[in-house]
Amino acid sequence: MGWVIALGIPVICTPREAQAQAYSWNAPSVAVGQWRSHLPFGKVTCVEKVGNKVYAGCGGGLFVYDLEDESLERITRVNGLHDVEVTALSYSSPYQTLIIAYANGNLDLYKNGRVEALDAVLKANVPIGKKIRSIYQAGRFVYLCYGFGIVELDLLKNEIRGTFVIGPQGAYLGVNALVEMDGLWWAATDSGLYSAPTDAPNLQSFEFWTRDPYWDKKTFPSLVIFRDSLVTYQGDSLIWYKSGSHRTMVVNAGSPNVFLGVSGGQLNVVNTWRVVRLDEELQFFNYPIVNESIRPTCALYDTYQVWMGDDGGGLFRFTPWDYFRYLPEGPTTNKVFRLKANSGGVAVAGGAYQGNGGFANTYDPSGASLLQINRWKALNRETLRGVGNLYDVIDALFDPARSGTTWLSTWGRGVAMVEGDSASFFDASNSSLQPQQGTLEAVRVSGMEMDNRGDLWMSNFGASRPVVVRRANGVWESYGTGPQTELLDMLVDRLGNKWMRNRAGGLVVLDASNARYVTVTNAEGNGGLPSNQVISMAQDRDGSVWIGTSEGPVVFYNPSAVFRSSFNATRIKIRQEQFVGYLLGTELIQAIVIDGANRKWFGTANGLWLFNPECTELIEHFTMTNAPLPSNSILALAIEPQSGEVLVGTDKGLMGFRSTATQGVDLQGAVQVFPNPVEPGFEGLLSVRGLVTDAWIKITDASGALVYQTKADGGQVSWNLRDPSGRRARSGVYLIHSVAFDTLDLSSQTIVAKVVVITGQD
């Protein structure tokens, strides 16, 4: 059972054996042409209660639990917020405003369902920490504590009023908390406890701020007022300070404190294991240590219950008789190193290696996250049996031939085959994989891909024979590539050739018979790459291989030509307005993916780009200014083939955009028309998926009059419900005719589907 301890007397907190009532909600599906967030919601940094709603701030934004209808809502950049990584929340009742603070210094004011951004600090030229550490309200004015000082916010005018830089001689000084007591402002800083008179003529001047000599330059991680005293913490102890004297009180011996707050007239302390509450009589109430918790982060007392945020476990609610857990669906981390998608689902690798120097380990425990039918599953040391110290998972792949099997490649422990909740490792002891030369046991697998025969190909970085395959029958083999042993990533083209990035620069390509290899560089006649710094690779529907470099993309239209005595990649020229230049100029091409319509998506340091199949026309350029991306740095891309959702991995997490294109089918079967019926007020795209690849589509009204025709984007077509003249379609029944002309049996590739449109246009 869970217990609350009051005055040494055990009081039952929950009747079940260490089990919370778990409330988790599926990730919502997304309409064609729309975005959705795949950011983590489990790492809760702050909690605030407003009426019957409890707001939890986390890396993905906010999630809100409604006590009345027990619903859970996400509020993210997709539906209103202006940033990610919420660090602090505070609600002003007089101004009915929820103040939302972010790690980059950005600020949102949420009132009456509308969000107003105040980005003055975000845009300011401040050389050190802009993270908002805490918020203190003083009526009309709110004080935001930053790594450089204090910012004063006027809630009446919704504007920044001033900045206090309080360090010696006006130096920047990190402020962790601010309170007002006995006619003084008290600031808990990274270097001592500072105070200033509340009636000082200019609090923006450092001259009015003095450091308390008793504490010297000790770090004050937090500061609150309770029972007319200043309270902070050090280690496992609370420190009470008033009128120059102090006393210490141990909370849970040996458990360092991490949070201190006052709510509901109670002092709430969070340590590395649990929440502890102190009432006005200084009686201790210890709340349960729950199995689902990773690391508690914050707490809020509300009449009879405590809300606890957790660094991975989501939001917990403790009542006198039970406890509950609230956790929206999502990945466990915002780290995206690599993305892979196939019919099994989407696999996100969250590990990493150090890209500079010696490509050393980072020992990142994030593991991998799997997305299947809008449900997320974590694969890491906490969810898998038999993995021990699993770290630096840098690639993950659903096995398309074995349902329920996932492969994980690691930077040090070889390859893991995951089945259910258990994993089996393959390394130098039981496979052809070998340690990196010069190390004793670091088996580094930098990339993997499965060919159309079910053979799993791997790049074994630093091994003497760095190309390794596990055949579909379980037999292992390895191949050498001469002195080129430090190979990264793996692409198997349609002809069976293996393409790998070379740490020394350029590419190494092993032919289909595995008998010869060639290097591809920036030298003329040996590839002619615009740069030897190769970052990404992809193969399109025509079999062409696209290479992303630090100075734009190139394409090998005939990939086997790399085995000729002289060969060069093609660098595409494109007209933009009055100018002709190379495709994406000198952009850093960090990721490439090809959609069902053979269109090319490029992830760069300056956003996400979509071009037509020939890359002669720019279709979309998504950045933070016109899309809810958390960052413009796109590190990885993948496309879920059935829905056409483009998974966009940034340096701040994962987003999804449902494209108009999907992977087509070879033989026409049943199709899905959505939405059907189309309700009044619908402003999105009517879509049909499950079509034969690149089929021709005609949409007619019930009388047979043509209202729209086009070619499918792979296996899907979308219509904006307007006729050729741009007028809104009238209410009625519409027929969708699809014909695939690249088949001898037209009858088997022709379909007619119906959709009911109710638009109010009669």
Total structural domains in the chain?
Answer: 3
Looking at residue 27, its pLDDT comes to 56
CA distance 334 to 635: 12
Looking at residue 760, its pLDDT comes to 64
Q: For residue 385, count other CB atoms closer than 10 A to its CB.
A: 9
Point out the domain boundary residue: 176, 196, 217.
217
Q: Are 651 and 631 in contact (CB under 8 A)?
A: yes
115 or 243, greater pLDDT: 115
Q: Give mean pLDDT, residues 614-638.
A: 96
3-class state of residue 383 by DSSP? coil
Residue 148 within any structural domain of the chain: yes
Is residue 758's pLDDT more than 70? yes
Looking at residue 730, its pLDDT comes to 87
Is residue 11's pLDDT more than 50? no
Residue 162 within any structural domain of the chain: yes
Is residue 188's pLDDT more than 90? yes
pLDDT for 251-296, tens place per residue? 999 999 999 999 999 999 999 999 999 999 999 999 999 989 999 9
CATH number at residue 700: 2.60.40.1930
Q: Are 253 and 291 in contact (CB under 8 A)?
A: no
Is residue 615's pLDDT more than 80? yes
Is residue 453's pLDDT more than 80? yes
pLDDT for 352-402, tens place per residue? 998 776 789 999 999 999 999 889 999 999 899 888 889 999 999 999 888
CATH number at residue 157: 2.130.10.10
Is residue 686's pLDDT more than 90? no
**Stated pTM of the model:** 0.90
Q: Give mean pLDDT, residues 693-707.
A: 88
| 559 and 589 share one domain | yes
Is residue 745's pLDDT more than 50? no
Would you report the helix, strand and coil content of the chain in percent, each value rounded to 5? 5, 50, 45
Q: Give mean pLDDT, residues 488-499.
A: 96
One DSSP character per residue, 254-275 reads T--EEEEEEETTEEEEEESS-E
* Percentage of residues in the chain having pLDDT higher than 90: 71
> Which residues, 6+ apart, have CB-to-CB distance to 22 below 8 Å?
292, 324, 325, 327
CA 240 to chain centre: 40
Looking at residue 417, its pLDDT comes to 96
Looking at residue 203, its pLDDT comes to 86
Total residues belonging to the chain? 762
Is residue 15's pLDDT more than 70? no
Where does the pLDDT of residue 5 fall: very low under 50, low under 70, confident under 90, or very high at 90 and above?
very low
Looking at residue 761, its pLDDT comes to 58
| 86 and 213 share one domain | yes
CA distance 170 to 43: 35
Poorest-confidence range of 332-336, 675-679, 750-754? 750-754
Point out the domain boundary residue: 165, 194, 217.
217
Looking at residue 10, its pLDDT comes to 27
Q: Which residues of 259-283 are buried (b: 16+ CB within 10 A; e: fewer)?
A: bbbbbeebbbbbbebbbbbbeeeee
| 544 and 658 share one domain | yes
Looking at residue 357, its pLDDT comes to 64
| 676 and 652 share one domain | no
Residues 378, 380, 381, 386: is their CA dihedral positive or negative?
Answer: positive
Q: Are 732 and 698 in contact (CB under 8 A)?
A: no
Looking at residue 124, its pLDDT comes to 87
Looking at residue 285, its pLDDT comes to 93
| 696 and 626 share one domain | no
Going through 427-466 in order, the beta strands assigned E by DSSP cover 443-450, 456-461
**Residue 237, token pair as written in the block:** 């102890």
CA 221 to chain centre: 28
CA neighbor of 425 nearest in space, from 389, 472, 375: 389
Please state, rounded to an integer, the average pLDDT across all residues of the chain: 90
Q: At 23, give phi and psi (nearest 5°).
A: -120, 110
Domain of 645?
Answer: 534-662
CA distance 547 to 308: 48
Report the DSSP pairing between strands 368-372 and 375-379: antiparallel
Q: Are 493 and 545 in contact (CB under 8 A)?
A: yes
Q: In what order do the strands lie in the sheet with 732-739?
A: 706-711, 696-701, 732-739, 750-757
748 or 286, greater pLDDT: 286
Point out the domain boundary residue: 638, 662, 686.
662
Q: In what order do the strands lie in the sheet with 672-674?
A: 672-674, 686-689, 716-719
